[in-house]
């Protein structure tokens, strides 16, 4: 599990997170919601130590991780699918996947690639294509696949469905449902409340860098509820 206990952080001298509290339980899907510019991406960057003046405690599975380098956090099993698809444009689909693998043997790597292809059959059809020739949706699937190749214990997705066609979005939500069934610990940042409410166990809304609300899917979707007011829906 990942806990933020009164975490403040920012960029240079500008604070963005103010004594933020978060509790992201193991084996559950948590969400981070909030209007634009409220600090969602900054929260993710702070987990990886990529912001400045971090105070408070960030605790991953009982260990305080403040001050660790991004690669150390990654090695502890945290993988992020960042905003904007990050794939190597001049590598093929398979090469992109293999590039982030931590498996020692070729056989294990190939089994891991096959598992990604089962989740995203489109990627298998394009497996020898260079990543820059893929559609935006295929690149996003590849970005998720790359994160999964690291065999994470904790997967973070920042706006993974942003700007994608509805059919592709559905495929991505289906893949996340499958990962949930496999008991991955997941943090999703997204703007689509309906699929989030179906997938998520616990939702957190941040407002100006503070936790403003946290609740269940039913509470989130209550038409005249506090969550809807905070999200401006």
Ligand X SMILES: Nc1ncnc2c1ncn2[C@@H]1O[C@H](COP(=O)(O)OP(=O)(O)OP(=O)(O)O)[C@@H](O)[C@H]1O
By the criterion CB under 6 A, which residues form the site for ligand X?
A: 11, 14, 16, 34, 36-42
**Cβ of residue 194: shortest distance to ligand X, in angstroms?**
18
Bridge-based pairing state of the strands 154-158 and 63-64? unpaired
- Alpha-helical segments (H) within 36-135: 40-47, 70-75, 93-99, 106-119, 121-125
The pair phi, psi for residue 30, each rounded to 5°, is -105, 155
> For ligand X, which is the closer residue by CB, 32 or 144?
32
Q: What does the DSSP assignment read for 103-121?
A: -SSHHHHHHHHHHHHHH-H
- Min dist CB 190 to ligand X, Å, is 10
Q: Which helix (H) or strand (E) holds 229?
A: helix 226-231
What residue has token string 């001049």?
90
Comparing CB distances to ligand X, the nearer of 78 and 116 is: 78
105: helix, strand or coil:
coil
Q: Minimal distance in Å, beta carbon 135 to ligand X?
A: 22
Q: How many C-beta atoms surround the C-beta of residue 146 within 10 A?
A: 24
41 vs 92 by CB, closer to ligand X: 41
- Minimum separation from the CB atom of position 155 to ligand X (A): 18
Q: Which is nearer to ligand X, 139 or 204 (CB)?
A: 204
**CA atoms of 109 and 103, how far apart (whole Å):** 6
What's the closest the beta carbon of residue 151 comes to ligand X, in angstroms?
Answer: 27
- Cβ distance to ligand X smaller for residue 90 or 192: 192
Which token pair is 3?
């806990």
């Amino acid at each position: 599990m990942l806990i933020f206990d009164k975490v403040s952080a920012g960029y240079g001298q500008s604070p963005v997170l103010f004594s933020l509290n978060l509790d992201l339980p193991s084996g559950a899907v948590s969400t981070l919601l909030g209007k634009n510019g409220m600090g969602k991406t900054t929260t993710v960057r702070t987990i990886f130590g990529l912001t400045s003046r971090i105070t408070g405690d960030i605790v991953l599975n009982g260990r305080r991780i403040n001050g660790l380098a991004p690669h150390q956090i990654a090695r502890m099993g945290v993988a992020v699918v960042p905003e904007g698809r990050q794939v190597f444009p001049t590598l093929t689909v398979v090469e992109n996947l293999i590039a982030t693998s931590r498996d020692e043997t070729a056989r294990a790597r190939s089994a891991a690639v096959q598992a990604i292809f089962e989740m995203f059959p489109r990627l298998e059809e394009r497996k020898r294509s260079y990543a820059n020739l893929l559609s935006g949706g295929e690149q996003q699937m590849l970005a998720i696949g790359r994160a999964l190749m690291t065999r994470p214990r904790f997967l973070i997705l920042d706006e993974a469905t942003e700007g994608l066609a509805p059919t592709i979005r559905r495929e991505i939500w289906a893949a996340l449902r499958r990962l949930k069934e496999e008991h991955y610990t997941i943090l999703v940042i997204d703007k689509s409340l309906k699929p989030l409410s179906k997938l998520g166990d616990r939702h957190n809304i941040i407002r100006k860098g503070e936790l403003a609300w946290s609740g269940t899917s039913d509470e989130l979707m209550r038409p005249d509820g506090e969550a809807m007011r905070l999200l401006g829906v």
